[in-house]
Amino acid sequence: MKVVIIEDEGFAAMRLKKMILQYNPAIEILAELESVEESVIWFKANPDPDLIFLDIQLEDDLSFAIFEQVNISSPVIFTTAFDEYAIKAFKLKSIDYLLKPIVQEELVAALKKYEEITGMQRNNLDLQSLYGLIISKEKKYRERFSVSIGTKIKSFNISDVAYFLSEEGYTSVYLWNKSVYPLDISLNKLVPETDPELFFRINRQMLLNINAIQDIHIHSSSRLKLDVNPKIENGVFVSVDKVTEFKKWIGAKDK
């Protein structure tokens, strides 16, 4: 079996590849692609693989844009962190999917389903209709998150989150109870999935819950320093280019 992985989160792609090869070491990973643009270039230059693992939201667009630019006949298994309405759409359109964080048992079930459905062509997958279902829905923000901890899955509500922190290319979620968990998602993707009235990206590293702010200090004429809970030694700073927007955000919440 020849497989292409389209996923813009490096850690998530690496983890998915490891799980696929754990299922069957003979599976050949032809390419690991990160964007719509890169994917279109690859598919125009290469024959279709047997199977595609496809993240919905890529760094430059929704992955459906790939199919608008190149004709692909391969069956698709979506890897997604989208909310329940999208999952219902996948089921309605008979498209297989894996809800992030992906666990080995669900991956195995999806691959076995693919092996049972041989000769499936893209025209059986109503991608355009699914795309319409997703973009036509009223904007919904994430209400829950799930993370893989060894062989277990930990689930928590967005209301449990104090802040998200990105360090050395990895994103972690910090809860009010001081628990810390790794996430297979970048801050760039988290921002549009979280309620902007509740969360604000104060700098490149942190997406902050407004209720986590304990004190705001004027550090200089152009910088703000925040004391947050759970505590971070020496505090955190609002980026200079974010200060004006941050003040408006704080003011809006005070009204």
Q: What is the CATH number of domain 144-254?
A: 2.40.50.1020
Tell me: pLDDT of 46 over 60: yes
- Classify domain 2-136 by CATH architecture: 3-Layer(aba) Sandwich (3.40)
**Taking the CA atoms of the chain, what radius of gyration do you get in angstroms?**
20
pLDDT in tens, 178-190: 999 988 888 888 8
Tell me: pLDDT of 130 over 80: no
For residue 122, the model assigns a pLDDT of: 45
User: What are the domain boundaries of the chain?
Assistant: 2-136, 144-254
Whether the pTM exceeds 0.85: the reply is no
Q: How confident is the model at residue 254 (pLDDT cuts 50, 70, 90)?
A: very low
